[in-house]
Amino acid sequence: MTNQSTNPAPAKTFALGGDLTVNRMGYGAMRITGDGIWGPPQDHDESIRVLQRAVELGVNFIDTADSYGPNVSEELIAEALHPYAQGLIIGTKGGLLRTGPNQWPIDSSPEHLKEALEGSLQRLKLDQIDLYQLHRVDPNVPFEKTLEFLQKAQEDGLIKHIGLSEVTVEQIQQAQQYVKVVSVQNMYSVDNRKWEAELEFCEQNGLAFIPWYPLAGGNEQALSKLAQIGDKYGASKQQVALNWLLHRSPNILLIPGTSKVKHLEENVKAADIQLSAEDMAELENFGS
């Protein structure tokens, strides 16, 4: 363990929408599907064990989407966890079509979202989705039409809270004219700060920020730096990347995904690492 000055421990929970207390280390259920996020998983029973073990480890926020599989992820969540434990919050998403492995055409028309939302409610065996997230803004559909659908679905009680994904500050502000936005899910990691302004906006306005692809994927320089720091703590580079995000902002919710129980347990343990202030500063400067 390093003898450098210790960084203050981050908050463990966040009040999503002001009324749902979630543990900031969540789970993303994209990877419990087949190759290309298409079809059933290679090991069905292990995927069920992953979901059940996540809850055992204190995860109470699971992120999924109708497009994961498609449908497979939501079906597995219900199979593994329904009836759901009190306080377990499931967020799902709609707005993408699936035409094949790794293919994600956008369709955020009200007609498609109605079908997607109804399907998610049925597959998850829920009367109301805790957090329904627009997977993408559709360039071919007026944004206000999409927002009007979400507004109506919330008024009808089908959605408790509404979130957005891959959006700018301007788009968040536009959406806020129709609905209360409680979360933003954008790509973000130690080496990818494209959405820094959006993170800051969320922090200043009490919105959760949910980074996807949080492990500096494919960037050898970043992975090398994370591994170098991890060696000081007996931690993996993935654990360091996740821990940095927990420290980065108190409104960040993590949703690392995996299809293996062992990897899940390693991800959850990332919250226990006490990075030094010096190592945090080094990682902070890496993305600047």
| Contact predicate 198/219, CB 8 Å | no
Nearest to 240 by CA among 212, 209, 279, 270: 270
Token pair belonging to 239: 């654990």
**Please, which residues have CB within 8 angstroms of residue 232's CB and are 6 or more apart in sequence?**
1, 2, 279
CB 253 within 8 A of CB 208: yes
CB within 8 A of 248, min separation 6: which ones? 199, 284
What is the Cα–Cα distance from 218 to 255, expressed in whole angstroms?
19
CB hemisphere CA count around 48 (13 angstroms): 9
Paired tokens of 81: 């966890």
Residues noted as catalytic:
68
Q: Rounded distance, CA 200 to CA 251, Å?
A: 10
What whole-number distance in Å separates Cα of residue 76 and Cα of residue 113? 21
- Tokens found for residue 167: 């959006």
